[in-house]
Amino acid sequence: MNFIKKISCLLVIFLVFVNLIGRETIASDGEITLKEAIDIGFERAKEWNVNAILTSVNSVDETMGGSRGEAGKRFNWFVQFMAEGTDEHLLIGISEKKITLFRPIKQSQVPTIPYDEIKLDSSYVLQLAKDKYDLKKGKGWATGYHFTLDNIEGTPILTVIGNDRDKRFTRISFNARNGDIVSAIHKLPYGGGLISKRIDSEKLSKKGVAIMGVVAGNKKLVIWGDNKPTQFSTSNRPFIEWSENGGKKWTELRVYNYVTQAWFDRNDQLYAVTEKEIWTGITSKSKGRKILSLDHPIENVDYSINNHIAVLSNGNVYYTTNQGKSWEQAIVPKPFYEVQISDNGDLIGLTEERKILQKTNVGWNEITLPNSDDVPDDMKVINNRLFITTQSGIWTRNLQEENWRKIKVDEVVVKFIKKGEKLFGYTQRGEAIYSISTKDERKSEKVFDAGDSIVMDVVIIGDTLWIATIPNYSWEEMMIQQRK
C-alpha cells in the first residue's frame, strides 16, 4: 500500500483540466508519444547542460482536438530534467513537436530516470491497460488518456490515466523496464445518501448515491442528484424522486434534464430548475409545464415565501412576481455570485467582489455592512429580511431599515441554506450544520455534526432533519477486468 500511496501523490500536477466537447479521435501528425517527447526534450536539455538527466514526464490537457491519447499520443507534454548532482532543474513544455516552454529552476535533488531503462512507450502500455482493465477515456477532467513517467522507489514507472467502465478515475502503472503491472487503482465512492436524523436516532438511506438537494412539501419529500456519481461528475445518471410516506418508498419523476434546484410553493406545486429552464406542476404522472427557457445556463435561482422568483444568467437577472406568467429583466452592474428576491419583490445581489447591492427604481445601490472590515461570505433574504454571514458573525436587518442586529452562533458560518422561512448554515469545511432563527436574534442551534459526510442540502419536517450528502472518494485496487 505504501507504493500505491506514493504513486497517488504524483497525481498529474501539471494537468490543466477543462471541460471539452468530444471531437474526432483520429491521431494528428502533431501528436507524439511519451518517448518521442523525451527525445525532443533531451536534445534541448543537453544544450542547457551536458549532464542533464530525466526526472519526470507527463502529458497535458488541451483543446486542440486530435485523438486525446487514443493511440498513446498527445499534443502537449511537460518533460523535466536535472543537472545530475546539482539543484539545477529544467522544465520543458512541448506542443505539436515544438518546444514552447523552456524554464530553468532551482529545487532540491529528486530521483532520476536513466534513458536506457525506458524500454516501453505510452502507446504500448495503453494497449496493455485496455486489454487487462478495459480502460476508457477520461471525461470532464484529464480528458482522454494521459501518461506520466516517474522514478518511484528506484523503478521507472509509466502510468496510464483514464476511466474504468463506470467512469471512475483510474491509474494503471507499469514497470517501464519490462511492462510488469505494479499498480492498478481507481477512485471509488464511499458514503453519500440521505440521512434522516431525529433527536434519538439517525438513519442512512439511498446509500452510495450523490444527493444534491432535498425539499419538502405538505406531504411529500423530494430528492435529486446522481445514481452513479464519480469524483468529477454528479450528472452521469441524474434522477429526481419523491416520497409520500416519509422516505419509505420513492417514485421517479419525469424530468428529462439534470435538476439543479427544486422547491414547493404554498399550493404544494413542485418547481424544478434544469440547466436553462424552470418547470412547475411536476408530478409522478406529468413533467409539468415550462415557465422559463433561457439561451444561457442558469447560474442561480431564488424564490420568496410568496413565490416571487429571481434567476441569474449571463449577467442578467430575470424575475417574476406572478409565478412565471410574465418575466422582467434587470441588467447586472457587476458580476453577481447570487441573487435574492423578497416578498415585496426587492432584488438583492451579492457580487463576486462580495458587495451587496439592492435594486431601486434608478439602479443598484450598495448596502452598507455592519462593520467596515466585514466581507460577506454568503447572504439570503427571507420574507423582507436580509441575512449575511461574515467572519465576525451572522447579521440581519430589514430591507427597509438600516440597523443591523447580530445573531449569536458558536462557530463561523460560511454558507447559508434557505428552505422557505427556515435558514441553516454550514461551518468551515461543512463540519457542522446550524439552524438559524429568522424570527428573532436568539442563539443559533447546532443540529448536525457532519463527521465524514459531505453535506449538500438540508430540510426539516416536524422533528426530522433530512440531510442530503454526496460520496467521498478513496483509491482502491482494481481487479483485472473481463471484457463484456
pLDDT of residue 433: 95
Cβ pair 102, 44 in contact under 8 A: yes
Q: What proportion of the chain, given as a percentage, has pLDDT over 90?
A: 78
CA 166 – CA 151 distance, rounded (Å): 30
CA proximity to 425, closest of 451, 390, 452:
390
Q: What is the 3-state secondary structure (H, E, C) of 289-352?
A: EEEEECCCCCCEEEECCCCCEEEEECCEEEEECCCCCCCEEEECCCCEEEEEECCCCCEEEEEC
Q: How confident is the model at residue 15 (pLDDT cuts 50, 70, 90)?
A: very low
Q: Is residue 18 scored above 80 in pLDDT?
A: no
CA proximity to 90, closest of 38, 40, 55, 39:
55
Residue 221: CB partners within 8 Å, gap ≥ 6? 214, 215, 242, 243, 246, 247, 459, 461, 466
Sign of CA dihedral 165, 170, 176, 182: negative
pLDDT of residue 29: 82
Cβ pair 272, 278 in contact under 8 A: yes
Lowest mean pLDDT among 98-102, 144-148, 447-451: 447-451
Tally of CB atoms within 10 A around 345: 16
Q: How confident is the model at residue 122 (pLDDT cuts 50, 70, 90)?
A: very high
Q: How confident is the model at residue 13 (pLDDT cuts 50, 70, 90)?
A: very low
pLDDT of residue 11: 40
pLDDT tens digits for 193-251?
999 999 888 999 999 899 999 999 988 999 999 998 888 888 889 999 999 999 999 99
CATH class of the domain defined by 191-473: mainly beta
CA 212 – CA 223 distance, rounded (Å): 8
* Angle value at C-alpha 34, between 28 and 39, nearest 5 degrees: 100
Q: Domain limits of the chain?
A: 2-186, 191-473
Backbone angles phi, psi at 56, to 5 degrees: -170, 160
pLDDT of residue 428: 83
Chain length of the chain:
484
CA 413 – CA 427 distance, rounded (Å): 4
End-to-end CA distance of the chain, in Å? 29
CA proximity to 95, closest of 70, 116, 75:
75
Give the residues across from 459 on adjacent strands: 466
CA proximity to 393, closest of 381, 375, 420, 380:
375
